[in-house]
Amino acid sequence: MPRPVLTSEQRRATRRLIQKAAADLYAKDGGKGVSVRSIADSAGVSVGTIYANFANLTELMQSLWKQPAQRLFTELAQAVDKIDDPLEKLKVLLQTYANFATEQRAVYRGAFLYVRPESGEQPKAVALKDDRFFSLLRQAIIEGQADKIFITGDPDQLAQTLWSAVHGAIALPINIDRLAFDTSEKPVHFMIEAMLSWLQQK
What is the dotted CATH code of the domain comprising 1-54? 1.10.10.60
* DSSP per position, 138-182: HHHHHHHHHTT-S--S-HHHHHHHHHHHHHHHHHHHHHTTTS---
42-51, 60-69, 145-154, range with the lowest pLDDT: 60-69
pLDDT digits (tens, 9 = 90+) for 1-17: 456 677 888 888 999 89
Residue 114: pLDDT band with limits 50, 70, 90: low
Distance of alpha carbon 105 from alpha carbon 95, whole angstroms: 15
Q: Which segments of 46-130 does DSSP mark as H helices, in order?
A: 47-53, 57-80, 86-103, 105-113
Q: What is the pTM of this model?
A: 0.74
C-alpha distances in angstroms, 105 versus 69, 70, 112, 192?
12, 16, 10, 19
Max mean pLDDT among 37-51, 107-121, 173-187 falls in 37-51
Nearest to 195 by CA among 145, 147, 149, 161: 161
Domain boundaries, the chain: 1-54, 65-199
> For the residues 39-52, what does the mean pLDDT come to?
93
> For the residues 65-77, what does the mean pLDDT come to?
82
Q: What is the mean pLDDT of the chain?
A: 86
85-94, 106-115, 132-141, range with the lowest pLDDT: 106-115
